[in-house]
Structure formats: C-alpha cells, structure tokens
C-alpha cells in the first residue's frame, strides 16, 4: 500500500517591489518632478524664516549634487539616502530645523512625485486576504528616497500596515539585483527562499534574481516590462488583486498527494 504524503505549503511569504508594483507612478519627467519638489521645499524653508537664497540657485545647486550622487550610485550599485544628503547640505548653508521640520522638508521634496503615485483599487483588499491567510508580507525596494516619506505615502493609501518587513536599498550595501538585499528580507520574514514569492515589475532587478535564489517569481504587468518576455517558469499578473488566487493555486499544487 502506498502511503500518500501531503507536502508542506509551498509559499509562506510574499515580498514585493514598490515602484510600479505596489505603487504605480507611470512615466514622468524627472526634471519636472525635481523642480516641483525643489520649489515646494524652498517655499517651506522660506515660510520658516530660513535664508535659502533665490529659487533657481537653490534648485540647480541641489540638482547638481543629487545628479552627481546618482551617477556614483549607478557605478557602485550602492544607493544613498537623499534626505540625509540634502539635510547635510542644508545644515552647511546654515539651515536649522527641528527633527519634525526636517521630516516635513523631506516630504515637501517627495510630494510632487507622491501625487503621481496610485494603487490599484483592489490592492488593499488583496493584501488583507494574503495577510489573513497567514502569509508574511514584505517590501524590497531600490530607492534613495527616505523611508519616512515612502511610508507616509503608503499610509495614505492604507497599505503600510500590511508590511511589517520593509527593506530599502539605501540602507544596505547594494541594491537589487544584489543577492544580499534579498537575503536580508528573507531573514526578516523568517522563511527560506523556496518558501517565498517575489512580485515585481522589472525582469532584470526583480524576476531574474528571484529565480536565481530559488524564489517563486511573479511579474506584474507595467510599462517597465512592456514588450519583454520573462524567462520560463515566471508567473504573470496584471493586477495585484489576481495574486491571492495565484498563490492559492500554487500552494494547492504543492500540497497535492505524491
């Protein structure tokens, strides 16, 4: 008589990319968004009585500093904390703010980009279904935007509460696709790679490293992968609302009798 063995549930945790996966920003002009952020932060500093000089000087000075740091990051693969950089520059120019004011200053820089961001209508409910099913959820994002601004934005959409694990590249030695940042997220969710699904929009930064590490790779449709063919074995979704059903199907297949 053959004894049937029920396998363990395959997926116990789901990690998500942030931009164009959880938050959809779409295509935009980085220069236009930067200038809008510079204008908002400049106005905020002036409202506090800070001596910041003319707007164009303030804007271009900060733009050159950030672009230089982005160039260095593109070479080294190491992201940076843009807020900490702008804060250091501001303090050297004599700007003095309380911790709360500095956080608001960072938000004023981010807010124009934040206004572009959207979540798909059923995303919060899909995340609730995953969490209530016992899955551990987390974020692994390449970003130089400080976590306080990102999390304030996610909180506005009601999705922050679903992610007790949040890993941002500027807080780690290397960005995705570097394996170390995925390893850190796996340690925080407390599951091995083979029990983790990774959902992202970038084939190079999200999907390929997820596959190499043994995770279940799920590609979310976005402009960043339009016209590109993912490797074999990759699952595709158009909306995050499709994710609970997909996870159920994968786990059911893993639990079938041998």
End-to-end Cα separation, the chain, in angstroms: 13
Strand 165-168 and strand 196-200: the pairing is unpaired
Percent of the chain with pLDDT over 90: 94
pLDDT(5) > 60: no
pLDDT(108) > 90: yes
pLDDT in tens, 41-63: 999 999 999 999 999 999 999 99
**80 close to 74: Cβ distance less than 8 angstroms:** no
Cis before residue 172, ω within 30 degrees of 0? no
Nearest partner of 218 among 228, 233, 226, 11, judged by Cα: 233
* Residue 64 pLDDT: 95
Percent of the chain with pLDDT over 70: 96
pTM: 0.93
**Residue ranges per structural domain of the chain:** 13-26+120-254, 30-116
Averaged pLDDT of the chain: 94
pLDDT average, residue stretch 190-211: 98
* Residue 220 pLDDT: 98
* Residue 6 pLDDT: 39
Pull the structure tokens for residue 181. Answer: 């940042």
Label residue 255 by pLDDT band (50, 70, 90): confident
pLDDT average, residue stretch 80-107: 95
Fold type of domain 13-26+120-254: Rossmann fold (3.40.50)
Higher-confidence residue: 204 or 253? Answer: 204
């Amino acid at each position: 008589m053959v004894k049937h063995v029920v396998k363990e549930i395959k997926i116990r945790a789901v990690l998500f990319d942030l931009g164009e996966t959880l938050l959809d920003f779409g295509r935009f002009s980085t220069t236009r968004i930067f200038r809008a952020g510079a204008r908002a932060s400049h106005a905020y500093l002036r409202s506090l009585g800070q001596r910041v000089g003319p707007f164009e000087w303030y804007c271009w000075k900060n733009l050159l500093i950030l672009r230089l740091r982005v160039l260095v990051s593109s070479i080294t693969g190491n992201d940076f904390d843009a807020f900490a950089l702008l804060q250091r520059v501001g303090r050297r120019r004599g700007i003095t703010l309380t911790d709360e004011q500095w956080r608001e200053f960072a938000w004023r820089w981010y807010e124009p980009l934040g206004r572009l961001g959207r979540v798909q209508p059923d995303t919060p409910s899909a995340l609730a279904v995953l969490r209530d099913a016992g899955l551990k959820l987390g974020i692994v994002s390449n970003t130089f935007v400080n976590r306080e601004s990102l999390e304030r934005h996610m909180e506005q959409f009601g999705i922050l509460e679903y992610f007790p694990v949040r890993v941002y590249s500027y807080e780690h030695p290397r960005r995705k696709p570097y394996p170390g940042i995925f390893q850190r997220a796996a340690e925080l969710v407390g599951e091995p790679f083979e029990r983790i699904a990774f959902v992202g929009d970038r084939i190079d930064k999200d999907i390929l490293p997820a596959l190499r590490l043994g995770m279940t790779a799920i590609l979310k449709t976005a402009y960043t992968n339009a016209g590109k063919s993912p490797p074999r074995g990759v699952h595709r979704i158009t909306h995050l609302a499709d994710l609970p059903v997909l996870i159920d199907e994968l786990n059911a297949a893993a639990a079938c009798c041998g």
